[in-house]
Amino acid sequence: MKILRVLSTAAIFLPMALAAEEATITVKKGDSTSIAIKSFGGSEGAAATKVVQNDLELSSLFLLSPPERASFSVGATAGDGSIEGTVTDHAGSVVLRKSYSGSTRSAAHKFSDDIVETVTGNKGIASSKIAFTSSRTGHKEIYTADYDGANVKQLTNDGNISVAPALSHDGSKLAYTGYQSGYADIYLIDLNSGARNRIIKFPGTNSGAAFSPDGGRIACTISKDGNPELYTIGANGTGAHRLTHTAAVESSPSWSPNGAEIVYSSDERGGPQLFRISSGGGSGRFIPTGYGYCTEPCWSPDGKKVAFTIRQGGFSVAVLDLASGAVRIVAEGEDPVWGADSRHIIYSNGSTLTLLDTVKGRPTPIVSGLGKVGEPAWSR
């Protein structure tokens, strides 16, 4: 009898308890989650608060709100060389508590990424790096920066033509096309040590390097056979393997996230179009897009989309959904590259690099005032 009473009491309260749980967690992918950012304490508190605020805004996943109306609250203490960060939910329970070391900016970016991933389940882009070309010095050189445009640094000083940068997904290596030899060759830079080697220097033109997902191989265009063809080659410049055999121009390879396929542009049908090919080689399969000039494709990290440039008078950035074949134009500009969240892209319009949320269409200029900028690359 007593047991029955206890059980029936529990049965009354249990649904209420469950309902209360459901009410506090209101996260939906694609909608904004309301979040409050309390001013961080510590000697670096003000600076760190600004970085996290900017990161959460740029993610397009949050609505910054006062604490009473927020589903989650962010607080931290930021000192010299470390940040202690905490995220609590509406009920006050801690959902994230972690320490981050490094410079204030980089520690704050890591905290932002954890906030994004803990609260929404999406991958954060705040710690990622970009590379791009700029003609600021009068010559095209390679520059690097944080994803939000901070920390712009000139990487090469070749005084020649240095273009087509590519970043390995982990951001540790950069490949680019340089003309110091008088020909287009591909150079590899270890970004940690600064060491540089000319790794792909076959006769003719070598360009368009793209790192495989594990960083072990590079896809690129090599013309040593008498025609520009798609190749993959070890990231140390050995073991070249030819993929295409056409009379046309193959350019701009981009790897699928599992490394099994490569999307590229080829003009074998007349104007340049998108094709896909097994990364082991074989025949390229045409990808219809409905547009007559499609170049510089980039495969999204989630494998579902390809961003690319079309030309209709001027240039536009388009996104192809691979499953449905639907294509939509998302911006005026060229050379789109995906971020780790498969949602943001960075593209160029000649004088500005822009970060764009392709879901909500929000553009944010991140690099400008550096002359002609272009060919952005993005670590994941």
Partner 1 sequence: MSKYPLRLALVVVLGLSLSACMKKKGDQYAGVDGDYVNGTPLGDRVEGANFFGANVARGKFSPVQFAYDSYQVSDAEQPKIQQVAAAMKASPGNLIVAGFTDDRGTDEYNRGLGERRAQAVRQALINDGVPAGKIQTVSFGKEMPADPGSGDAAWAKNRRAEFGVVK
Q: Which positions lie near partner 1, rule CB under 8 A?
A: 140, 161, 163-164, 177, 179, 181-184, 202-205, 207-208, 221, 223-229, 244-252, 265-272, 283-286, 293, 295-296, 309, 311, 315, 334-335, 374-375
Which residue number, 111 or 315, has a Cβ lying nearer to partner 1? 315
Which residue number, 55 or 335, has a Cβ lying nearer to partner 1? 335
Which residue number, 59 or 251, has a Cβ lying nearer to partner 1? 251
Burial of 269 (0-12, 13-18, 19+ CB in 10 A): exposed
For residue 297, give both structure tokens: 């494709």
Which residue number, 283 or 368, has a Cβ lying nearer to partner 1? 283
Q: How far is the CB of 144 from partner 1 (least distance, A)?
A: 18
**Integer angstrom CA distances of residue 339 from 52, 126, 130, 355:** 18, 10, 10, 9
Which residue number, 186 or 189, has a Cβ lying nearer to partner 1? 186
Which residue number, 256 or 266, has a Cβ lying nearer to partner 1? 266
Query: How far apart (Å, rounded) are the C-alpha atoms in residues 303 and 48?
Result: 34
For residue 23, give both structure tokens: 């009410």
* HSE-up of residue 37 (Cα within 13 Å, Cβ side): 23
Which residue number, 76 or 186, has a Cβ lying nearer to partner 1? 186
Going by C-alpha positions, the residue among 266, 256, 201 that lies closest to residue 228 is 266
Q: How far is the CB of 309 from partner 1 (least distance, A)?
A: 5
Q: How far is the CB of 338 from partner 1 (least distance, A)?
A: 17
Contacts of 210 (CB under 8 A, 6+ apart): 166, 218, 219, 220, 252, 253, 254, 255, 262
Contacts of 125 (CB under 8 A, 6+ apart): 58, 59, 113, 147, 339, 340, 341, 344
Query: How far apart (Å, rounded) are the C-alpha atoms in residues 208 and 220?
Result: 5
Q: How far is the CB of 262 from partner 1 (least distance, A)?
A: 14
Q: How far is the CB of 337 from partner 1 (least distance, A)?
A: 12
Q: How far is the CB of 192 from partner 1 (least distance, A)?
A: 27
**Which residue type, as a one-letter code, is found at position 211?**
F
Which residue number, 187 or 315, has a Cβ lying nearer to partner 1? 315
Q: How far is the CB of 295 from partner 1 (least distance, A)?
A: 4
Q: Which helix (H) or strand (E) holds 206?
A: strand 206-211
Place of tokens 């287009």: 184
Q: How far is the CB of 162 from partner 1 (least distance, A)?
A: 11
Q: How far is the CB of 170 from partner 1 (least distance, A)?
A: 23
> Three-state DSSP class for 210?
strand
Contact (Cβ atoms closer than 8 angstroms) between residue 251 and residue 335: no
Which residue number, 184 or 353, has a Cβ lying nearer to partner 1? 184
Going by C-alpha positions, the residue among 112, 128, 341 that lies closest to residue 98 is 112
